[in-house]
């Protein structure tokens, strides 16, 4: 443990363990930190977007979105969003919600999962039945390396751009070209996020 006058920087002990035992080095940890921090921003923007889509005025009262799991907020956004007219908009809503669902599961595994040692492949595993117990939710693995977390960061970047405009734009979202023009980018985001989220299944598949 570092003591006063030690040449080691604060936090270096745990960082060494993450590197040696789990294969997590600086650039990867930076991306994980950025993902977790910016995911919180996305959740706030998602809440504000729902207020706008539903016409809810939260001032002075507890909003209907308060303390609601993000998975339910995503589902509510999909249900509410597709009611607006426009095939491009409706397609974009589904792309956004599919991508958000992948990222939410990945984020939950990072935030609440158990780190796996590098010798067994690393990553984080959520809802594991280590002792033969039964879990209400299926296991979720977050595969971690600089490239994979980067793919999820890129997907989150696209969600943030769109959701911020939905939440605070001055044009109806289903008519806003700033949103509709990002359909192709969201398609790539969904593809990349889905591949990373379901990498375990892909590795175990005969088609991989």
**pLDDT tens-digit profile of 48-77?**
999 999 999 999 999 999 999 999 999 999
Q: How confident is the model at residue 6 (pLDDT cuts 50, 70, 90)?
A: low
For residue 4, is pLDDT > 80?
A: no
Which pLDDT does position 205 carry in this prediction?
72
Q: Give me the phi and psi of 141, to 5 degrees please.
A: -110, 130
Q: Encoding tokens for residue 6?
A: 């030690």
pLDDT single digits (tens) 76-94:
999 999 999 999 999 999 9
Q: Give me the phi and psi of 83, to 5 degrees please.
A: -75, -20
Average pLDDT of the residues in 97-119: 97
Which pLDDT does position 202 carry in this prediction?
82
Which pLDDT does position 1 carry in this prediction?
43
SS3 63: coil
Average pLDDT of the residues in 144-165: 98
Q: Confirm whether pTM is higher than 0.85.
A: yes
Which pLDDT does position 207 carry in this prediction?
54
Which pLDDT does position 126 carry in this prediction?
96
Rounded distance between C-alpha atoms, residue 15 and residue 65, angstroms:
37
pLDDT single digits (tens) 169-208:
999 999 999 999 999 999 999 999 999 999 988 877 755 5
Rounded distance between C-alpha atoms, residue 98 and residue 188, angstroms:
12
Rounded distance between C-alpha atoms, residue 37 and residue 158, angstroms:
15
Rounded distance between C-alpha atoms, residue 32 and residue 48, angstroms:
25
Q: Where are the domains of the chain?
A: 20-55+66-128+136-203
Which pLDDT does position 2 carry in this prediction?
46
What's the whole-number average pLDDT of the chain?
A: 94
For residue 3, is pLDDT > 90?
A: no
Rounded distance between C-alpha atoms, residue 161 and residue 158, angstroms:
5
Average pLDDT of the residues in 24-39: 97
For residue 7, is pLDDT > 80?
A: no
Residue whose token pair is 């974009």: 92
């Amino acid at each position: 443990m570092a003591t006063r006058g030690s040449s080691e920087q604060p936090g270096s002990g745990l960082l060494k363990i993450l590197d040696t035992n789990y294969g997590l080095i600086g650039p990867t940890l930076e991306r994980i930190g950025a993902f977790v921090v910016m995911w919180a921003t996305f959740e706030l923007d998602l809440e504000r977007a729902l207020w706008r889509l539903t016409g809810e005025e939260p001032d002075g009262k507890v909003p209907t979105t308060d303390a609601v799991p993000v998975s339910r907020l995503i589902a509510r956004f999909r249900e509410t969003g597709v009611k607006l007219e426009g095939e491009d908009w409706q397609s974009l809503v589904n792309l956004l919600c599919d991508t958000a669902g992948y990222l939410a599961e990945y984020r939950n595994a990072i935030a609440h999962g158990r780190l796996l040692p590098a010798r067994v492949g690393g990553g984080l595993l959520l809802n594991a039945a280590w002792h033969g117990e039964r879990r209400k939710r299926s296991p979720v693995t977050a595969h971690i390396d600089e490239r994979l977390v980067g793919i999820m960061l890129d997907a989150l970047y696209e969600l943030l751009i769109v959701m911020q405009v939905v939440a605070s734009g001055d044009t109806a979202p289903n008519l806003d070209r700033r949103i509709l023009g990002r359909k192709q980018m969201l398609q790539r985001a969904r593809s990349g996020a889905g591949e990373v989220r379901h990498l375990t299944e892909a590795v175990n598949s005969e088609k991989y």
